[in-house]
Structure 1
C-alpha cells in the first residue's frame, strides 16, 4: 500500500506526550526517527508491563526508526542539527528551555533549516504561569473541566479511563504538524508550533464550550456543586447475560420503546415524547424497561431494538472486546509481534485509505537500533520534494480548497470545522426535510449554541439529495470540489450514486471521507451510531465506573469519541491532500468511531490479551502508583488530583507534608511497597489535603514538582490564569443568540498561521442562491424553478417560495 505521507521525514524527541503523534504520522507513511538519550526513554518502562515489555512504549513507537544521541555533547548536538537539515518535521517534548539552552531548540533548528516545521509539545505550553508545571493525564482531566462532570451525584468525581488524553494530544499534534507542513509546501517556509496538552484537552477532548449534541444537558452551569445526574441520559439495564445501554433520543425511538413495553397507560401522554419528561420519570420508567429486558440476552436485545428502531448496544468489558466477532471481521485488531518474541493482539490503526488499514507494520525499535543506518547517511540526503502552488506566508493554509460537507451532529460539525476554520470554502449540504440533529437541539432558543460553535465559517446550501435532480446538482458541485465529507450509515453514499468511485469518475482529484460508528465491514456495520453505544461496545464505559461491580456508568455527560474521531479523520484527509499534491489523485478515507476508541484504549486491551483478567475498572486509584487519586479539599465539593509517580516524588511529598520521617519508612520505601500500603499513604495525604483549598494544594505541590491539579468547573475555565495568559478563549457572536458564546481562539499556537476567523454559522440553506449562481452558473429563473420543485432549498422567506412568486 502506498501510504500518503511516504517521503515525509519526522524527527521525534519525545518521552510521553507526543509519542502518539509520531505513531500516527508513521501509520500514515512518514519516516519517523525516534531520538532517545543514551540511557533510553523513561517511557520504556511505562506501565502496564508484560513479559518485561512496556505495552505503552510498544504501541506508541511502532513503525518508527530509533537512534540515540547525547544532547549534552558536541557530537550529539551536531548530529541532531544534521538530521534536522534533512527533515521536514520535528516533534519535541522536552521541558521549556531545555533544548534552547543547548542551542538546539526549535528556533535554532529552524534557522539551520528554514523549511523545518518544529513542534514543541509540553504539558502547559512555552509560556504562562503554569509553564514549568508537571502534567499527567489525571492532572489534565481535573484542570480541563472533564473531571467535574464525571461521577455519580453525591460521590467523589471519577477519573475517566487512562490513555484517552495521551492519544488525544497525539492526534492534535499530528494535525498541527501536518497543517504547518502543508503550509510550508505552499510557502517554502517552516515555522514553530507550540502545543499545550492542557489546551488540547480543554478544547479538543470534550470541550465545555464547544459542540455538545445531546449531552448538552450535562454541560449546564446549574450544578456548581456535585456531578450532573447523567446516568439516565443513556441508561444502562441488566439483562440475561450482562448489561445493555439504550439511546432514546428521537420521538420515533421512544414510540418504538413504548410499543415494546405494551403501551403502559401511565406513559401514554404525548409529553413523554420529549427527553426531559422521560428523564424526570426515570424512577418509574427504568424498572419497566429493566423487567422487560431481564429475560433477553444482549444480542437478542440489540437485534430486537434494530427491528423496532430503538438504538441498543451491549456493554463490553475489555476482555469481551478482544473476542468480539465484529472487530475480527472489520480488521480493528491485528495479531503481531510487539517486541522480540512477544506477540499480542493490538489495535491495527485509526483509518482506512482506499480500503487498506493505515496502521501497525513494525514493532517499536530497540534502543539505538538504527544508529548505524541513519548516522552514515550522506549529508546531501535531502527530503523528497512535493510540488505545490506557491503563495505568500501568513494566509490560511486551506484557502482555495472547496469542501462539500454532508456531515451531521457532533462528529460532522467537528470535522468540517477543521477545514472551515483554516480557510477552505466549506459548503454544508442541508435538506430541510431531514435537518441536522444539532439544529433540532435549540432548547427554546432561536439557534442551538452547538450550531453556532460547530457550523461557523461555513456556507449552507439547501439541496434535496433524495431527488434525481439533486444528485445531478451535487455531482456538478463535486466536479469542482476537493473533499466530500459524510458520516451516514455505511452504504448510504453508494445507494445515492455518490460513492467514491462514482465521484472520482467525475473528478479524479476528489477525496471522499466516510465515517460511521462501527465501519463498513463486519456484522455491526449497520448499527445505529451514537457515541454512548460506541463507548459501551468498545470497553470505554466498562472502565469509566467506580469498580467492576458497580452498575452505574459515569460517562453519561460526555460526547467522547465524537470530537477526537473527527480530528482523526481530518488528519487523515490532510495526509491525503499532501499526497494529492504529488500524485494528482484523490482517495477514499474511512474512519470508524469504534476504531478511534479502541486505539485509545490500546494499553488496556493489549495488557488484558497478554494477561487475561488483569484489567478492570480502577476507579480513582492509579494501579501503578501510590498515593494517587482524587482527594477532598477544604470547602464544599472541592477536590484535587495528585499522583506520586516515583520515589523522588514521594520524597518531595514528604517534605511538603512535613513528614520527612516517612521517606525512610520501610512500608513506603518503594513504589511497590507504597501500592501495597495504599490505604495508609492515602490517609497521610488526604489529611493534609483536607486542610487546604484545592488551588492552594495544587500550587504548593506543583511548586515542589509533584503532579497535582485542582478540579475545575466549566465556568472557571474562562478565568483560569494559564488559559487567560495563553489567550485560549475569545467570544463568538451570532445575531440569533442573546449573548456571545465563549469559544476557543486556537488550540495550537502557530508562528505564522493566523487565528481562526469567526464568521457566524449560516441559517439552513442561507447561501443556496449565492452558491447556485456562483458555482453552478444557474440563472435566476432556473434557481426559482428548482426552488419551487423542492430541489433547491433556500430559507423559508425566499422570494420563490412567497405567495406572490408562486402565483406569478
Structure 2
C-alpha cells in the first residue's frame, strides 16, 4: 500500500530560477508538496541547460532539481502574468522566490499585497545577502556567499589560494535553511493563522555552519586557516596511503577510538606515549602521529586495511566517486540511489529523498518536467480559465 506523503496538503508556487530557490522547492516536493514552478515561456529555467554532460542534448541536472514539480509557463514581467500569480496565491500555502530584493515589490507582488489576497501565505525568499542591510541589493551568487560566510577562506591547502567545494555548496545550504524555515512557518501558522516571510540568505546559511569560528576570534584571537585534508588539533583524522596507491580515510581522534586504532596497529604503546595520550597532545603532535600511521597503512592493500579497521571498531572508509556509490552494497540496501524513467533520457539514476521518515517517507515520483507541461492542469483545472482566455494568453506570450 502506498503511504501518504507528509506534505501532500501543501501547495507551493515556485518563482525564480537556477539553484538556491529551486533546490528548496525540490526538498518540499520530495515530501509531497505540490510544487508549481512558473517559468519564462520562451526559455524556461536556465537549469534546463546547465551541467557538464548533456546526452541527447539534455541537461542531467534538470531532472534532479526539478523532480516532483509541475512546470507552468508565465511571463512574470507582464501585468497579466502577475495577475496569474495573484490567482495562484489565493489557492496556495507558500510562494517561493529567489529574485534580488525588491523584484516582487516592483511587480506589485510584495508580501503585504499578497497577504491581502491570502493572509495565510508563507513567502519564502532566498537571496545572496538577505532582504535587509546595506548589501541586500547586490547581486549574490552562491560562490560570493561562500566567501563572505567564511567557508572559502578555510577550504584548501595552506600554500594555495582559497579553494571551493566541487558543488554549489552555498546555494544548497541556503535552500535547506529556506526549507527548514518554510516548515517552521507552516507549523507556526497552525497557531497564529497567518503567514510570514522566511528570509534565507546564502552568506548566513554558510555562516551557520562555521562551528566556533567567531568566538575563537573574539575571545582567543585565533584565526582559522586552510589546513588541507586535516582539521587543526584533531588527530588522527586524515587520508592515509595504501600499498596499491589507494587512499583510506581514518578518523580516530576520540580517546577510546584512538585506543582501538592502536590495538589494530599492534602499537598499544602509542596510547601511553605522552605525545599521544590525550586529544590535545595528539593535536599538537599531529604530523608525527600521521607519519606513524601512514607508514603502517602503506603496508596493506586497501580492502585488507579497511577490514581490519572495521573489525576493530575504527571509523574508516574510502573516498567515494560516483562509480563507487553505484557498486556499494550499503547504498543499495538503503536505496540511497533511485532510478526513474525520464521521457527524454530513458532510465536515469539520482540520489533518493533524505532524510528517511519511518511512517511517511518522501518519494521521487517524476523527473524534471517539460516546459509548460502542466499549463492545462493548472490554468484550466486549478484556476478555471476557459479556451478563449488560454488562447489569448498564449498568443500574447504570457504563457
TM normalised by structure 1 equals: 0.44
By how many angstroms is 1:347 displaced?
0.3
2:230 is aligned to 231
Structure 1 distance, partners of 2:242, 2:228, is 23
Alignment of structure 1 residues 527-606 onto 2, 5 Å: none
Counterpart selection for 1:44 from 35, 42, 48: 48
Contact 1:239 1:297 in 2 (8 A): yes
The 1-side partners of 2:350 and 2:41 are apart by 29
- Residue 27 of structure 1 is matched in structure 2 by 30
Report how far residue 230 of structure 1 moved: 6.1
Specify the alignment match of 2:390 in structure 1. none
Aligned pair in 2 of structure 1 residues 165, 319: CA closer, same or farther (>3 Å)? Answer: farther
The equivalent of 2:324 in structure 1 is: 320
Runs of 4 or more, structure 1, over 6 Å off, are: none
Query: In structure 2, how many angstroms separate the alpha carbons of the residues matched to 1:292 and 1:349?
Result: 39
1:278-357 to 2 correspondence within 5 Å? 278-338=282-342, 340-354=344-358, 357=361
Equivalences for residues 633-672 of structure 1 within 5 A: none
The match for 2:222 is 222
| Contact 1:150–1:157 (CA under 8 A) maintained in structure 2 | yes
Superposed CA offset, 1:537-594 (max 9, x none): xxxxxxxxxxxxxxxxxxxxxxxxxxxxxxxxxxxxxxxxxxxxxxxxxxxxxxxxxx
Q: 1 CA distance for matches of 2:14 and 2:132?
A: 22
Return the match for 2:17 from 12, 15, 34: 15
Change (3 A) 1:166 1:323: farther
Counterparts of 2:6 and 2:142, CA distance in 1:
31
Asked if 1:93 corresponds to 2:95, the answer is no
Matches within 5 A, 1:256-271: 256-263=260-267, 268-271=272-275
> What is the aligned partner in structure 1 of residue 389 from structure 2?
none
8 Å CA contact 1:299–1:314 kept in 2: the answer is no
Q: 1:353 to 1:75 in 2, by over 3 A?
A: same
Residues 386-434 of structure 1 show CA distances to partners (whole Å, capped at 9, x for unaligned) of xxxxxxxxxxxxxxxxxxxxxxxxxxxxxxxxxxxxxxxxxxxxxxxxx
**Cα distance change of structure 1 residues 254 and 379 upon mapping to structure 2, 3 Å threshold:** closer
Q: Describe the shift of the 1:283–1:341 C-alpha distance in structure 2 as closer, same or farther (beyond 3 A).
A: closer
Change (3 A) 1:240 1:220: farther
Tell whether the 8 Å contact from 1:58 to 1:339 is kept in structure 2 after alignment.
Answer: no
State the shift of 1:355 in Å. 6.0
Map 1:775-790 onto structure 2 (within 5 A).
none
- 3-state SS, counterpart of residue 158 of structure 2: coil
Correspondence for 1:688:
none
1:696 matched to which residue of 2?
none
Which of the two has higher C-alpha Rg?
A: 1
> Is the partner of 2:331 in helix, strand or coil?
helix
- Rate the CA distance shift 1:220–1:348 in 2: closer, same or farther, 3 A: farther
Rate the CA distance shift 1:140–1:195 in 2: closer, same or farther, 3 A.
same
Alignment partners' CA distance in 2, 1:357 and 1:314: 29
1:265 shift after superposition: 5.5
1:45 offset after TM fit, Å?
A: 1.6
Contact 1:47 1:56 survives alignment (8 Å): yes
3-state secondary structure, aligned to 1:351: coil
1:178 to 170, 173, 183: 183
| 3-state secondary structure, aligned to 2:156 | coil
The one of 4, 7, 19 aligned to 2:6: 4
Q: Is the Cα contact below 8 Å between 1:254 and 1:273 reproduced in 2?
A: no
Asked which structure has the greater RCO (Cα within 8 Å, sep 6+), the reply is 2
Aligned counterparts, 1:303-452, within 5 A: 303-338=307-342, 340-354=344-358, 357-377=361-381
Whole-angstrom distance in 1 between the partners of 2:370 and 2:32: 20
- Measure, in 1, the Cα distance between the counterparts of 2:248 and 2:102: 50
* 2-structure distance, mates of 1:12, 1:47: 21
Residue 83 (structure 2) aligns with: 78
- Structure 1 residue 370 displacement after superposition: 0.7
Residue 122 of structure 1 pairs with residue 124 of structure 2: no
Residue correspondence of structure 1 range 611-760 to structure 2 within 5 A: none
Structure 2 residue 115 is matched with structure 1 residue 110: yes
Work out which of the residue numbers 160, 184, 192 in structure 1 matches 2:165.
160
Q: Note if contact 1:8-1:31 (Cα within 8 Å) is conserved in structure 2.
A: yes
Q: Does 2:137 align with 1:135?
A: no
Task: Give the distance between the partners of 2:255 and 2:132, measured in 1 at CA.
Answer: 49
Distance 1:101 1:266, change over 3 A: closer
8 Å CA contact 1:348, 1:360 repeated in 2: yes
Aligned to 1:791: none
Contact 1:27 1:349 in 2 (8 A): yes
CA deviations 1:346-392 (Å, max 9, x no partner) are 101112222675132101111111111111135599xxxxxxxxxxx
Q: Which moved more, 1:282-291 or 1:194-203?
A: 282-291
The residue that corresponds to 1:198 in the other structure is 203
Alignment match, 2:392: none
Secondary structure (helix, strand or coil) at the match of 2:185 reads helix
Cα distance in structure 2, aligned partners of 1:134 and 1:339? 35
CA displacement at 1:209 relative to structure 2: 5.0
SS in 2 for 1:120: strand
Aligned-partner SS, 1:290: helix
* Partner Cα separation in structure 1 for residue 205 and residue 51 of structure 2: 24
CA distance in 2, matches of 1:38, 1:13: 13
Given that residues 350 and 359 in structure 1 are in contact (C-alpha distance below 8 angstroms), is that contact kept between their aligned partners in structure 2?
A: no
What is the deviation of 1:156?
Answer: 1.7
What TM-score does the superposition give when structure 2 sets the normalisation length? 0.85
Provide the secondary structure at the position in 2 that maps to 1:108.
helix
1:125-152: per-residue Cα shift (whole Å, max 9, x none)? Answer: 2222211222222212211111121122
